[in-house]
Amino acid sequence: MPTLLFTHSACVQHDTGEYHPESSDRLRAILHVLDHQDFFYLLREQAPRATDEQLLRAHTRAHIDHILSSVPTGDDIHEIDSDTFISRHSGEAALRAAGAVVAAVDEVAAGRCRNAFCAVRPPGHHAEPGEAMGFCLFNNVAIGALHARAVHGYQRVAVIDFDVHHGNGTQRILWDVPGTFYASTHQVDAFPYSGMAEETGGAGIVVNAPLAASSGSETFREAWAGTILPRLREFAPDFLIVSAGFDAHAADPIAHLRLHVSDFEWLTRELAEIARQTAGNRLVSVLEGGYDIRALAACVAAHLRVLMGG
């Protein structure tokens, strides 16, 4: 079965302002590299809008209304917080980003594709139930995970996060949701300064493996192979959702881990194998961070080659 790509032009049009690291160039670079002949058999779909019902599984009514009512109608860029900015296409982009993950879950659940990748922005894993932060407006992966449970009845949904920043929003949303598993590696002294090992969840399972600045391949792989992956296998997910941030790459300008393309490729293989063993290959991957354009494009290409069976 094929791998399915969800994206939308609104995600490129989301303008965060000059010099902002979470820029449209990120997605342009990814889509450019996916024009390579290696991705000829990658199916491509336009992301639909998320509905209120889908958003409300992860966010408060007040938060949704605040984000969408704050979108400017002209060419101004509005500040949500010191890191998070919106422009006239940002509301549409945020709805399409969340909608992409929901649609990807639907397609994978129906067996119409092996797995899916959502090339979307704004990213989502910092967005909390009632607060946008860290470049994120809606929590795309949490919305997808809760949709998988509510609509398709999956009982053991795992969200796996290898972004260099801890997914505080995802952790908070899933903390008390039974039948969920959230795991993350991240730089310990980086924004949002959460994700300590002692944060282990409520009704849901949380596994954090914080890494010291300047950690490289060996430390990263040891954290996954020695701590997170055994717990994930024990959980035996019936659906996997991946927060695929590539800002732990050594070239990334806003963090200080020292990973390489081969590390992300290795972890993708490990996750795909667990999905094969326990979840009938059901896996949806969602773009989060990654701010060196060339490194980001190379990492996404490697990630997708594995998902496509390469």
**Residue 265 to residue 283: CA distance in whole angstroms:** 15
**Residue 2 to residue 12: CA distance in whole angstroms:** 25
**Residue 157 to residue 240: CA distance in whole angstroms:** 6
Task: Name beta bridge partners: 4.
Answer: 43, 116
**Residue 86 to residue 101: CA distance in whole angstroms:** 21
**Residue 20 to residue 149: CA distance in whole angstroms:** 35
**Strand 85-86 relative to strand 78-79: parallel, antiparallel, unpaired?**
antiparallel
Identified catalytic residue from 126, 147, 166, 186 = 126
Active site residue 165: no
Length of the chain: 310
Name every residue whose Cβ is closer than 8 Å to that of residue 153 and which is 6 or more positions away in sequence.
Answer: none
**Residue 147 to residue 23: CA distance in whole angstroms:** 28
User: Which ranges of 227-292 does DSSP label H, i.e. alpha helix?
Assistant: 229-235, 261-278
Give the catalytic positions in this structure. Answer: 126
